[in-house]
Amino acid sequence: MTAKTFDAIVIGIGGMGSAAACELARRGRRVLALEQFALGHDRGSSHGHTRIIRKAYYEHPDYVPLVCRAFERWYDLEQRQGLHLLTESPCLSIGRADSPMIAGVRASAAQHNLPVESLSAAELRHRYPAFRFGDEYMGVLERSAGFLYVDVCVQAHACEAVRLGATIQDNEPVVSWTANEREVIVQTTADRYTAARLVITAGPWASQLLASHGAFLRVMRQVAQWIGTSDDALFRRDVFPLYIVDTPQGHFYGFPVLNANGAKVAQHYGAPELTAPSEIERAIKPEDEETARAFLREHLPLIDGPCRRASVCIYTLTPDRHFLIDLHPEHGNVALAAGFSGHGFKFAPVIGEILADLADNGRTDLPIGMFGLKRFVA
């Protein structure tokens, strides 16, 4: 086997890795991107037809500048690849008046001057009659939101990376990597490669590649389902919003009806934390459907048809549910991004920029202070 040399190697070509490979190639770097499965696979986190993108970010106001930048970069990628990736659609956050989610949306909107509209329970029922929420609930509507066609987005970043000169090799698992101050060496099942820089974006498999530095990462099985409605016209994109709901039974989210499969609905979190992706049950279980239907029966009773599609994906979790983006603590030429905790995909193009900055310069001007590794590793 002959060693092959690049400027940068990217391990893992899902949402973040495809974006990092694309950005590094755009900057003229010789890039090798490695993926253990077939490109566009459904084994990790970057699949399932759609993802919500929103600016009034309840998780923390510091995300807002990054997601605003992500919007710009998604439109840029659309233009370069000639594909439709992002569709504007209002996003409605629903919760009780004292809900931390409602407070978080309002805090981010206030700090960053984002236009949002508060709706009482009565206003919510009048404007969106498909919902059933009691007077203890309220809504906050954000119009500067939308959804991404996630599978097409990964494909677009990968195709743009190749167009710009990157080499993408899928179905080639990484066996090991080592680094010193001059270079990194990556051994796969097929060959051995060297580069000046390494970027690790391995999703649920990041903990394996990071060893003790990723020991705190956990994985969680999540199931999205597409369920038929009593009247699809009530759930068209022009009359029904994206939604995120905070209920005593947990957080749920959903989409308008976008195709013949019906309305997409899923619970956010709520499943056991596991230590490795090999523990994830890939088969759909009866209780998966029942969890979604219990929410729908109470709050969206017109979504009551057959389940036409279901998809298992994996969240990779940090303890505080915020991202991990940093340089490796032992190797300044290794950048890493993991633990996106079920809300990262929308940021992919700006994460690609950040990782390219870290790989090229060891630093970035984009705001990532809250995502450092030191908060978990003494």
SS3 assignment for 125-187: HHHCCCCCCCCCEEEEEECCEEEEEHHHHHHHHHHHHHHCCCEEECCCCEEEEEECCCCEEEE
C-alpha span between 55 and 41 (Å, rounded): 28
Buried b (16+ CB within 10 A) or exposed e, 41-58: bebbbbbbbbbbbbbbbb
Catalytic residue among 43, 49, 51, 197: 51
Looking from the CA of 285 toward its CB, the CA atoms found within 13 Å total 8
The Cβ of residue 225 has, within 10 Å, a number of other Cβ atoms equal to: 24
Domain with CATH 3.30.9.10 in the chain: 91-142+218-317
Examine the residue annotation and report whether 50 is marked as an active-site residue of this protein. Answer: yes
* pLDDT of amino acid 377: 78
One pLDDT digit (tens) per residue for the chain, 378 residues: 345 999 999 999 999 999 999 999 999 999 999 999 999 999 999 999 999 999 999 999 999 999 999 999 999 999 999 999 999 999 999 999 999 999 999 999 999 999 999 999 999 999 999 999 999 999 999 999 999 999 999 999 999 999 999 999 999 999 999 999 999 999 999 999 999 999 999 999 999 999 999 999 999 999 999 999 999 999 999 999 999 999 999 999 999 999 999 999 999 999 999 999 999 999 999 999 999 999 999 999 999 999 999 999 999 999 999 999 999 999 999 999 999 999 999 999 999 999 999 999 999 999 999 999 999 976
Q: What is the CATH number of domain 4-46+151-215+320-375?
A: 3.50.50.60
Catalytic entry in 213, 221, 264, 328: 264
Do residues 325 and 340 touch, judged by C-beta distance below 8 A?
A: no
How confident is the model at residue 378, as a pLDDT?
63
User: What does the block give as tokens for 28?
Assistant: 């003229």
CA-based nearest residue to 239, from 259, 253, 256: 256
Look up the CATH number of domain 91-142+218-317. 3.30.9.10
Q: Which of 49, 313, 316, 318 is catalytic?
A: 313
Active-site residue, 22 included: no
Please tell me which residue in 22, 29, 50, 322 is annotated as part of the active site: 50
Residues of the chain with CATH 3.50.50.60: 4-46+151-215+320-375
